[in-house]
A and B are shown apart, each in its own frame.
Chain A
Amino acid sequence: MKEPPSAATKIDFWQRLSRNRALLLLLSLLLFLLIWQMLVIVLNLPGFILPSPAEVGRKFLSVLSTGLLWRHFSSTLGEILLGLLIGISAATLLGYALSKSPLAERLLSPFLVGSQSIPMVAVAPLLVIWFGPGLLSKVLICSLTVFFPVLINTLVGLRDVPPELREVMRSLRATPAQMLRYLEIPAALPVFLGGLRVGASLSVIGAIVGELVASDRGLGFLINVGRGQYDTALVFVAVICLVVLAASLYGLVLLLENKVLSWQTWRKEA
């Protein structure tokens, strides 16, 4: 007995579709926009409550063409990149130093754990009071948000370096610098990059929180402006830009992980 050819091709089509992730993503996006547009039409909502996708698209093109969007986008991006740079470097250095000194780690760890539960939203106004509404306070908020996950993961990653591999290095008469280069960095990298992945997404939130508190530029500022003028489409444009920004940062770290940890691919398969 042979299956009817039409059924076979049908199955084939669905299988191929479910394997093509880019196409699936596009489809779900289109579906989402469709439902959104339908909702606006059916419920007959005014634009300042829920703008239609078409309105948002028009808004996007207009702020893009005037250069307004790029000005604010680039300033948020700058804050995030600076914040990431400072936060990651400080956290990595401190993490390495602490991993070499168990006493210091034990002294500091209550603060580290405690500071993780402080909501950044609550600290942001303080930092704005201390460091002004300019770039500095945003960069600080952003680097603080990145700092803790990266620090914790650096510590955990270094602490979990297999002691027997340390012994191998010692039996090969490795210097501390060689220990770092040949053992500690590669061994701690998977956990470290995990922290970076969390930190990179959080950094976007950090920058926006800072901008929402007080600022005269950035996507957060744009959101404030849109809200003040009942220009909800503008708010949507800013939010979508933020989502794209956060997703790209996340994707970048993922890309880095895949590149650096290629030897680990078997783990994902298993």
Chain B
Amino acid sequence: MPSPSEIALQVSDLEVTFIDSDGTLEVLDKLNFSIARNAFVCIVGPSGGGKSTLLRAVAGLIQPNGGKVLFPGESESKPQTGLVFQKPNLFPWRTLRENISLPLEIDHRPDAEISRLTQEMIHLVGLEGFEKAYPHELSGGMAQRVAIARCLVQDPEILLLDEPFGQLDALTRERMGDELLRIWNEQRKTVLMVTHSIPEAIFLADRVLVLTSRPARVIMDLPITLPRPRTDAMRYLPEFTEASRLLHEQLKGSTAPAN
């Protein structure tokens, strides 16, 4: 167990219930977990199970009905969380550069700082030369990288990623995963990422949490002990296959009874 000062995010007894015309929908039920500083944690779980809802609650976009989201090592200067949504959600009337600089404009940073930090981010996600392109001129993978850059430019303590590579083909997906690991390594962030892909979760994460279907609870917390930096060759190690088998069985088990 990490000591309290090393914990970046603590979720305790988190409950979220949606109320709509045809009754109430219990999405999260007494959810508990904590994440160590600089850890890379992946969440897998059945579709519609409440993973996006969890990230939204952690990002402060939903008021939970019960429980708490705590950031123990609170620092005043930096924003706690930055959220990358399931879709890129870029602003169509803003160029690539203007999309990335938006958080800094909202934060009233001086112009010189805005253009310096924005340029750094464009470099980091490898989109030089496309600064003046509008979102409709970008490929899906490029748009998703812009969304990640828009999140990173705020320099949040905790990155919340909601299936950031969901709409990409397998190869682009792996390349983006590599890039994400590189960024995570360079910037030393805490990452909480939702994904549908078990191999992706194992390849990226220090820990994989498996959620049940609605109401979501953590039914498995699997440490991934593969050494870093991760390489493609590790995908064929017995350790990888074993983790994959465990997660797959848990997921199957968690999906079946609820539906």
Q: Does B associate with A?
A: yes
The answer to whether A167 and B85 touch across the interface, beta carbons within 8 angstroms, is yes
The answer to whether A183 and B85 touch across the interface, beta carbons within 8 angstroms, is no
CB-CB under 8 A for A263 and B106, given A167-B61, A171-B61, A172-B154 = no
Contacting residue for A170 out of B61, B103, B137, B154, CB 8 A? B61
Q: Mark A145-185, 1 if CB is under 8 A from B, else 0.
A: 00000000000000000101101111111100010001100
A186 to B: closest C-beta gap in Å: 5
Contacting residue for A164 out of B79, B85, B103, B134, CB 8 A? B85
Q: Mark B105-128, 1 if CB is under 8 A from A, else 0.
A: 110000000000000000000000
The answer for the CA separation of A168 and B83 in the assembled complex, in Å, is 8
The answer for the CA separation of A117 and B201 in the assembled complex, in Å, is 59
The answer to whether B102 and A172 touch across the interface, beta carbons within 8 angstroms, is yes
- Residues in chain B near residue A169, CB distance under 8 A: 106
Contacting residue for A182 out of B92, B106, B134, B136, CB 8 A? B106
The answer to whether A164 and B87 touch across the interface, beta carbons within 8 angstroms, is yes
Nearest A residue (CB) for B154: A172
The yes or no answer to A14 lying at the interface (CB within 8 A) is no
B82 to A: closest C-beta gap in Å: 8
The answer to whether B85 and A182 touch across the interface, beta carbons within 8 angstroms, is no
The answer to whether B89 and A168 touch across the interface, beta carbons within 8 angstroms, is yes
Nearest B residue (CB) for A260: B93
Total cross-chain contacts (CB, 8 A): 47
Contacting residue for A172 out of B93, B95, B106, B136, CB 8 A? B106
- Residues in chain A near residue B95, CB distance under 8 A: 263
- Residues in chain A near residue B56, CB distance under 8 A: 167
The answer to whether B89 and A164 touch across the interface, beta carbons within 8 angstroms, is yes
The yes or no answer to B59 lying at the interface (CB within 8 A) is yes
- Residues in chain A near residue B91, CB distance under 8 A: 165, 168, 182-183, 186
The answer for the CA separation of A174 and B83 in the assembled complex, in Å, is 14
The answer to whether A182 and B89 touch across the interface, beta carbons within 8 angstroms, is no
The answer for the CA separation of A261 and B137 in the assembled complex, in Å, is 16
Contacting residue for A168 out of B81, B85, B134, B137, CB 8 A? B85
By CB atoms of chain B within 10 A, which of A165, A171, A183, A186 has the most? A171
The yes or no answer to A111 lying at the interface (CB within 8 A) is no
The answer for the CA separation of A173 and B59 in the assembled complex, in Å, is 10
- Residues in chain A near residue B134, CB distance under 8 A: 263, 266
- Residues in chain B near residue A261, CB distance under 8 A: 93
- Residues in chain A near residue B83, CB distance under 8 A: 171
CB-CB under 8 A for A263 and B61, given A164-B87, A174-B106, A182-B102 = no
The answer for the CA separation of A178 and B102 in the assembled complex, in Å, is 11
Contacting residue for A171 out of B59, B92, B93, B136, CB 8 A? B59
Q: Mark B63-91, 1 if CB is under 8 A from A, else 0.
A: 00000000000000001011101010101
CB-CB under 8 A for A172 and B103, given A186-B93, A266-B136 = yes
Nearest A residue (CB) for B87: A164
Q: Mark A253-266, 1 if CB is under 8 A from B, else 0.
A: 00000000101101
- Residues in chain A near residue B94, CB distance under 8 A: 263
Nearest B residue (CB) for A267: B136
A157 to B: closest C-beta gap in Å: 13
The answer to whether A178 and B89 touch across the interface, beta carbons within 8 angstroms, is no
Nearest B residue (CB) for A169: B106
The answer for the CA separation of A186 and B59 in the assembled complex, in Å, is 25
By CB atoms of chain A within 10 A, which of B59, B91, B105, B154 has the most? B91
A94 to B: closest C-beta gap in Å: 25
A175 to B: closest C-beta gap in Å: 8
- Residues in chain A near residue B92, CB distance under 8 A: 263
The answer for the CA separation of A169 and B85 in the assembled complex, in Å, is 12
The answer to whether B105 and A182 touch across the interface, beta carbons within 8 angstroms, is yes
- Residues in chain B near residue A172, CB distance under 8 A: 102-103, 106, 154
- Residues in chain B near residue A171, CB distance under 8 A: 59-61, 81-83
Contacting residue for A173 out of B79, B93, B137, CB 8 A? B79
The answer for the CA separation of A263 and B136 in the assembled complex, in Å, is 9
Query: What 8 A-B pairs are tightest by C-beta distance, nearest first?
Result: A171-B83, A263-B93, A186-B93, A172-B103, A164-B89, A168-B89, A174-B106, A172-B106
Known pairs A164-B87, A263-B93, A263-B95. 7 more at Cβ < 8 A? A171-B82, A172-B106, A174-B106, A182-B105, A183-B91, A187-B93, A263-B134
Residues on B close to A: CB < 8 A? 56, 59-61, 79, 81-83, 85, 87, 89, 91-95, 102-103, 105-106, 134, 136-137, 154
Residues on A close to B: CB < 8 A? 162, 164-165, 167-174, 178, 182-183, 186-187, 261, 263-264, 266
Query: Can you list 26 A-B pairs with a CB-CB distance of less than 8 A?
Result: A162-B89, A165-B89, A167-B56, A167-B89, A168-B91, A170-B61, A171-B61, A171-B82, A171-B83, A172-B102, A172-B106, A172-B154, A173-B106, A174-B106, A178-B106, A182-B91, A182-B105, A183-B91, A186-B91, A261-B93, A263-B93, A263-B94, A263-B95, A266-B134, A266-B136, A266-B137
